[in-house]
């Protein structure tokens, strides 16, 4: 093992759990997080068994097929299956004997906004009969603060000598493999004392490669680890809503929010990343996490501390209203009966995920207002069709643009950025483009004859 944080141990103890590669790992839950984590652990040389209750998902993964679009995942999956280092099963009994059990099930938004812990609780309950002393249960799911302590007590009561720790992930869709194999940092939430030291040693073995390369590793207590994850997402959501609030002001004041972001982003304390104004955030994490965080703060009696997240959410949702209103405005008041090209359905590029996608929401709302919507996305048509089968999905940018009276760019795919505006002008019936992600070359589109409307500029 290399120098650096991998060698530091809390309390200075040497820690007794020293595995050699491969560590025997189980991953419980094969959704976005779990499937990527399992394949990445096998890629690192570990011996992995991955479990899910959905037989269809397990069948596809076992056949080397990624159940969702994620760059790099099919390759590492195939490699892992070929090397025999990974197997997929619906039988929880097969996790017996793993040294480290990762919990990677979903925590969706429940009816009140709070996180629904059904899957986490079910995973722990079904794991316990197969867990042995000396093994570690490692939570990766995003959970309300306090959950880990409750589960830790449940685990050590059922299986004395087994230890539950929390090790949140920070993976971004589209970069999930890279973020899992070489993350920005590791956070280990562990109990005090010897159990905690042994857990740190075990996770250090799992992540030996990245630690040797100098990836920072922070050892904290359980509630801190849970909060690190959710507060990171709350901060990112706040940063995006901040710049979108500036977009609202820029629009009425005649300023350009893109130039504003560039200028304030040069201040290293602010930074330019996550200051892209547009349609705001969607996806499987940020929207549900800010709501779950608020709900948890309310339960803990400190709701006021996170009251601002209601504004963050409201600013974010207003961006969608704004684009729907803009579409009506540029079409002279109403969209009914008008042909609208929608470019982009995924919540962000390089993903086929349409969960809480601003793009798909806008497309569906325009259809609801009577527009004839031709929707195209390089990867997300199939996932979008499952949620909104009533939209008219087309197979290419050109098919979407043909005879359009309005073009809406709602996800900043490279394919849209690179599309030739002159070719677009020749296809549409009316050259008006609303750039919902400020991703087009405004001058080039204007030069091609388009009326260009950006976000906050």
The three-class DSSP label of residue 166 is strand
The CA-atom distances, in angstroms, between 421 and each of 7, 11, 412 are 55, 62, 15
Q: Decide if 257 contacts 277 (C-beta within 8 A).
A: yes
Nearer to ligand UDX among residue 347 and residue 376 (C-beta)? 347
Closest approach of Cβ 118 to ligand UDX, in Å? 20
In angstroms, give the least distance from the CB of 268 to ligand UDX. Answer: 17
User: From the CB of 13, what's the least distance to ligand UDX, in Å?
Assistant: 31
Would you call 285 a catalytic residue per the annotation?
yes
CB-wise, 88 or 186, nearer to ligand UDX?
186
Nearer to ligand UDX, 242 or 450 (CB): 242
Question: Going edge to edge, which strands form the sheet with 163-166?
Answer: 86-89, 47-51, 24-28, 100-103, 136-139, 163-166, 186-189, 217-220
Query: CA 53, CA 34: separation in Å to the nearest integer?
Result: 12
Spell out the residues 6+ positions from residue 39 whose beta carbon is closer than 8 angstroms to its own. 73, 76, 77, 80, 86, 177
Q: How far is the CB of 200 from ligand UDX (least distance, A)?
A: 22
> What is the spatial distance between Cα 265 and Cα 8, in angstroms, rounded to a whole number?
35
Q: Is the dihedral of CA 275, 280, 286, 292 positive or negative?
A: positive
Q: CA-to-CA distance for 384 and 394, rounded, in angstroms?
A: 12
> Least separation, in Å, of the C-beta of 270 and ligand UDX?
13
Question: Are 226 and 148 within 8 A, CB to CB?
Answer: yes
CB of 425 to ligand UDX, least distance (A): 27
- Closer residue to ligand UDX, CB minimum distance, 158 or 232: 232
Cβ distance to ligand UDX smaller for residue 195 or 435: 435
Smallest Cα–Cα separation from 132: which of 158, 106, 167, 168? 158
For residue 29 the two structure tokens come to 């839950």
Least distance in angstroms from the C-beta of 319 to ligand UDX: 8
Active-site choice (98, 285, 335, 367): 285
Nearer to ligand UDX, 20 or 273 (CB): 273
Question: At closest approach, how far in Å is the CB of 92 from ligand UDX?
Answer: 26
Q: Which two structure tokens, joined as six digits, stand for 418?
A: 């690179």
Complete DSSP assignment for 19-60: PPSSPEEEEE--SHHHHHHHHHHHHTT-EEEEE-S-HHHHHH
CA distances from 382 to 63, 212, 340, 415 (A): 20, 41, 20, 18
| Helix boundaries (H) for 161-256 | 176-181, 193-206, 208-212, 222-253
User: Which H helix or E strand runs over 162?
Assistant: none
Q: Please, which residue, 36 or 331, has the CB nearer to ligand UDX? A: 36
The Cβ-side half-sphere exposure at 29, using a 13 Å CA radius, reads 23
**Whose Cβ is closer to ligand UDX: residue 240's or residue 433's?**
240
SS3 228: helix
Supply 247's token pair: 């977009």
Nearer to ligand UDX, 168 or 196 (CB): 168
Q: Least separation, in Å, of the C-beta of 210 and ligand UDX?
A: 16
Which residues of the shown chain bind ligand UDX in the complex (CB under 6 A)? 170-173, 233, 236, 240, 274-276, 278, 280-283, 285-286, 347-348
Q: What is the C-alpha end-to-end distance of the chain, expressed in Å?
A: 51
Contact 434, 278 (CB under 8 A): no
H or E element that contains 357: none
Catalytic residue IDs: 285
């Amino acid at each position: 093992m290399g120098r650096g944080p991998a060698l530091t141990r809390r309390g200075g103890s040497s820690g007794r759990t020293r595995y050699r590669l491969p560590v025997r790992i189980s991953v419980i839950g094969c959704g976005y997080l779990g499937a990527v984590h399992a394949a990445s652990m096998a890629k690192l040389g570990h011996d992995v068994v991955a479990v899910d209750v959905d037989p269809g998902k397990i069948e596809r993964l076992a056949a080397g097929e990624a159940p969702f679009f994620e760059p790099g995942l099919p390759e590492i999956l195939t490699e892992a299956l070929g090397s025999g280092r990974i197997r997929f099963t619906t039988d929880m009994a097969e996790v017996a004997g793993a040294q480290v059990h990762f919990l990677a099930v979903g925590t969706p938004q429940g009816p009140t906004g709070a996180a629904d812990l059904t899957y986490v609780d079910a995973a722990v309950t079904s794991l316990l009969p197969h867990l042995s002393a000396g093994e570690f249960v490692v939570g990766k799911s995003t959970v309300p603060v306090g959950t880990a302590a409750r589960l830790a007590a449940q685990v050590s009561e059922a299986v004395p000598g087994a230890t539950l720790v929390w090790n949140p992930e920070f993976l971004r869709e589209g970069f999930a493999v890279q973020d899992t194999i070489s993350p920005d940092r590791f956070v280990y939430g562990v109990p005090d004392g010897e159990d905690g030291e042994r857990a740190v040693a075990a996770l250090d073995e799992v992540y030996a490669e990245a630690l040797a390369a100098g990836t920072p590793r922070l050892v904290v207590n359980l509630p801190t680890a849970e909060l690190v994850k959710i507060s990171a997402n709350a901060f990112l959501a706040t940063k995006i809503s901040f710049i979108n609030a500036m977009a609202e002001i820029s629009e009425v004041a005649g300023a350009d929010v893109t130039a504003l972001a560039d200028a304030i982003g040069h201040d290293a304390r602010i930074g330019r990343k996550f200051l892209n104004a547009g349609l705001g955030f969607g996806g499987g994490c940020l929207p549900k996490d800010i709501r779950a965080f608020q709900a948890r703060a309310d339960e803990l009696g400190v709701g006021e501390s996170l009251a601002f997240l209601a504004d963050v959410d409201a600013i974010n949702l207003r961006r969608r209203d704004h684009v729907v209103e803009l579409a009506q405005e540029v079409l002279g008041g109403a969209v009914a009966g008008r042909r609208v090209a929608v470019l982009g359905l995924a919540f962000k590029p390089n993903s086929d995920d349409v969960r809480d996608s601003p793009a798909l929401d806008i497309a569906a709302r325009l259809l609801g207002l009577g527009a004839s919507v031709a929707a195209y996305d390089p990867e997300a048509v199939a996932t979008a069709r499952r949620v909104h089968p009533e939209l008219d999905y087309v197979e290419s940018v050109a098919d979407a643009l043909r005879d359009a009276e309005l073009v809406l760019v709602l996800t900043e795919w490279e394919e849209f950025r690179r599309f030739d505006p002159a070719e677009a002008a020749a296809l549409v019936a009316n050259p008006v483009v609303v750039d919902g992600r400020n991703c087009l070359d405004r001058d080039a589109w204007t030069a091609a004859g388009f009326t260009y409307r950006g976000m906050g500029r």
